[in-house]
Amino acid sequence: MSVDQPSPSAVIVADVTRREIEAFLYLEARLADESRYAEWEALVTDDMHYWVPKGAADYDPATRLSYINDNRARLATRIRQLRTGLRHAQTPPSPMRRIISNIEILEADDAAGRFVVASNFVLYEVAAQATNELRIWPGRVTHHLRRVEGRLRMSKKIVELVTSELPQPNMAFLL
């Protein structure tokens, strides 16, 4: 996180729009928590970018390594791999629940149906594949949302972990 740049201010949108955005975030979180891969994948656009940077999301992911840097095709591969049922790093799928809060709408173009939304989260995961420890994943997510045929979809999900400068345990689930 760079403090040299001013932090963005939230924008005000119509209450019904805010409710629509919140409902999307909660649905996306629940589907990820429950490892409902196909339903989760139905929420993404054809130009989806799923990015878990190392450190803050203040670099061009093309030029440096990230934990996860999936374009739409690679994300499809990720989900195909999970759906084989043979992905040992998620066999069984981790029991998970995440809390989302501090939802701020940073950019809104209601007419065009485009929004940038930031939120904080804490994800609790049991690493049920081997160690059975409880892993806690705090961080901030930025969603880029777009209305497609009347429904919100995400075209970008950036996950900035609080711990992202540190070595990470397996993150084979959907963060």
Partner 1 sequence: MIADYAEVIHDDRVHGSLYSDPEVFDHEMDRIFRRGWVFVGHESEVPQPGDWVTRLIGLEPVIMVRGTDRTVRVLSNRCAHRGTALCWREKGNSRVFQCNYHGWTFGLDGSLRGVPHKAGFERERAELGLDRPRAVELYRGFVFANISGDAGPLSDHLGAGGRELIDRLCDLSPTGNIRLDAGWIGHRIQSNWKMWPESDEDGYHVDFVHISMLRTTQSYYQDTIVGGEASNNSRAVDHGGGHSELDMRPGYKSQLSWLGVTREKVTEYCNAMVRRYGEARANRLLWEGPPHAFIFPNLFLAELNLARVEPLGVNLTVHYHTAVQFEGVDDQFNRRLLRQSEAALGPGSFIVADDAVTAERMQTAFAGAAVGRSSNGFGAAWIDLSRGQKRERVDEQGRRIGHVSDEVTNRAFWRRYRQMMRAK
> For binding to partner 1 (CB under 8 A), which residues are involved?
52, 54, 62-69, 74, 77-78, 80-82, 84-89, 129-131, 133, 165-172, 175
CB of 43 to partner 1, least distance (A): 19
Of 21 and 172, nearer to partner 1 (C-beta) is: 172
CB of 44 to partner 1, least distance (A): 17
Q: How far is the C-alpha of 93 from the C-alpha of 67, rounded, in Å?
A: 19
Which of the 8 DSSP states describes residue 148? Answer: E
Of 8 and 55, nearer to partner 1 (C-beta) is: 55
CB of 93 to partner 1, least distance (A): 12
DSSP 80-138: HHHHTS--GGGSSPPPEEEEEEEEEEEEEETTTTEEEEEEEEEEEEE-TTTT--EEEEE
Of 118 and 175, nearer to partner 1 (C-beta) is: 175
Q: How far is the C-alpha of 4 from the C-alpha of 114, rounded, in Å?
A: 27
Please answer whether residues 70 and 50 qualify as being in contact, where contact means their C-beta atoms are separated by less than 8 angstroms: yes
CB of 16 to partner 1, least distance (A): 36
Q: How far is the C-alpha of 120 from the C-alpha of 29, rounded, in Å?
A: 12
Of 8 and 92, nearer to partner 1 (C-beta) is: 92
